[in-house]
Chains A and B, each alone.
Chain A
Amino acid sequence: MTKVLSNFLPTEMADELEEVFSSHEFPWFWRPSTTHGVDEGSEGSGDYQFVHIVYYDNEPQSQLFEIVRPLLFEFEKATSLAIKDIYKIKANLLPKQLLEDAEVEESIHIDIDKGDKKYISIVYYVIDSDGDTVIYDDKGVVKANPIKGDAVYFPSYIRHRATPPVLNKRRIVLNIIVELEVI
């Protein structure tokens, strides 16, 4: 169900994504919670992140869509899966932070629950960092390390969470949800 793809992008593509999303010019938007809305407020020490919506609501929300799009073609080549439609592409910057146990528990979520298995979530690691993606797969817990150029993908209805980095200052990923062609 859950699979890790190692180093599946051409080097120049992975480098470009790192350069763009790591740039000081890149605009990030604050979310006081990784899984809740903006009304959460600023109290508490953890479970917040910065995001940049690239694609949502059936259209690009950012000029960066054209930079990210080739990643999907490479994903199809590497997996032999056929993408029918894009549901969402979002960049996440998770700063170094320690979460309380309760906050870890609260951060477990599913991306989309459409009642079927045609949606998958792809987490692409833009930079080297720490802070695993923890996926509670039907066959057990899978932990994917944030290594630049790698990705992990799994059905979008599966519970999972991101772990904030504790060694590195930030963890930057692309969170991509796509609908697959039904074969």
Chain B
Amino acid sequence: MAMRGEMENSQLHSSSVAYQVVDNFLPEEDFKPIQDLMMGDSFAWHYHKAVTYVDEGKEDKAFYFTHLFYSNPNITSDHIKTLNPLLEKLDVKAFIRIKGNMYPNLNGYSPQEPHVDYPYPHKGAIFYINTNDGYTILEDGTKIASVANRVLLFDPSIAHDSTYPSCQKVRVNININYF
């Protein structure tokens, strides 16, 4: 998975699932405005139910909040300008969707809901906004910790999962799907 610019602290993993983790992905002066925006009090979040499956029934104990920056072919948030340093550093031919996620602390409850973002091969980047004890789980069980200014590059058409934080109030990241 190629990226523009130099990659520091990056690791290319190729077990059963290929992925790459890059720490300190953005210079601090580019990361801070994004973090300040999304952790700030002027950034709109939208409530969504997260349906989990308990035995054979559905139980909607969980929920999370989203902010849609882009949904092909439309820019859906003026705040996308703040993400420019991040988006320019990815090797993008076309964006599919750019979405912010905020997972609240549910008193330790974290639904298990493996999913694919889109059912066709494409690229994905999860950019972590705050450090917390929630993580991303890849298909082979690999856990990627949520560390501020870290990016995970992978193919989101392969099943993966997210967990909620238990020691922090929220877990915030940006999910970018692209070609």
Contact = CB atoms under 8 A, between A and B. Distances in A.
A145 interface: no
Interface string A70-98: 00000000000000000000000101111
A41 B169 CA distance: 9
Interface of A: 22, 24-32, 38, 42-48, 50, 93, 95-98, 169-170
A29 B67 CA distance: 11
B61 interface: yes
B156 to A, nearest CB: 22
Report whether over half of chain B's contact residues are helix, strand or loop; otherwise say mixed.
Answer: strand
B170 A30 contact: yes
Q: Ordered nearest first, which 4 A-B pairs have the shortest CB separation?
A: A27-B44, A38-B41, A48-B169, A45-B105
Question: Interface range on chain B: under 10, 10 to 19, 20 to 34, or 35 or more?
Answer: 20 to 34
B63 A170 contact: yes
B146 to A, nearest CB: 11
Interface stretch (B9-17, B45-53, B115-123): B45-53
B167 interface: yes
B178 to A, nearest CB: 24
23 contacts: A22-B47, A24-B46, A24-B47, A27-B45, A28-B46, A28-B65, A29-B44, A30-B43, A30-B45, A30-B65, A30-B102, A38-B40, A42-B39, A42-B169, A42-B170, A43-B169, A45-B167, A45-B168, A46-B105, A46-B169, A96-B106, A97-B107, A98-B107
